[in-house]
Amino acid sequence: MAQAMKHACLLAAAAWQLATLAPAHAQSAPVSDPTRPPAALIAPVRTPDGAISVPVERAEPRLQSVLVSLSPGGRRVAVIDGKMVRQGQRFGDAVVVSIGAREVVLRRGARTQILKLYRPAPKVAQVQP
């Protein structure tokens, strides 16, 4: 019985130490933001000749989301670089020509640009029981 009591006290002491050390460890290790761009995209870079180059924000707009109604003549909305646009509206110096299920067509003067969402997932073979 004394041995079991000694063992329980040792376990309780170990648990207390872990409980008091865990918050200190959690504070010392910063939590990384999974949505933050890689450091190489935001940090200055030293070129081989010794100059410092700061990455430039990419000029290409990025299509982030598309909402297309299934009913004929229904709503078509796209989110480009965080801005919601509809067909016919302006996005910067471009006009939204069309919004499809996976792409948006922009027109800047005579130039047409197609923004694609992403490649669809490959179809998975169905297994019959």
Q: Look at residue 11 and tell me whether its pLDDT is greater than 80.
A: no
For the ranges 3-7, 55-59, 85-89, 108-112, the lowest mean pLDDT is seen at: 55-59
Question: What are the residue boundaries of the structural domains of the chain, listed by start?
Answer: 63-116
Q: Token pair of 22, please?
A: 């865990």
Indicate if the pLDDT at residue 81 is higher than 80: yes
Tell me the CATH number of domain 63-116, given options 1.10.10, 3.30.70, 2.30.30, 2.40.50.
2.30.30
Beta bridge partners of 114: 105
B/e letters for 39-69, b = 16+ CB within 10 Å, e = fewer, are: eeeeeeeeeeeeeeeeeeeeeebebeebeee
pTM exceeds 0.85: no
Q: What is the pLDDT of residue 28?
A: 52
Q: Which residues contact 88 (CB under 8 A, 6 or more apart)?
A: 95, 96
Query: pLDDT by residue (tens digit) across 49-70?
Result: 877 766 555 568 889 999 988 8
Rounded mean pLDDT of the chain?
76
Helix (H, G, I), strand (E, B) or coil at 89: coil
Asked whether 38 and 55 are in contact (CB, 8 A), the reply is no
Task: Tell me which amino acid residue 77 is.
Answer: V
Reference 65, options 91, 14, 101, 98; nearest CA is 101
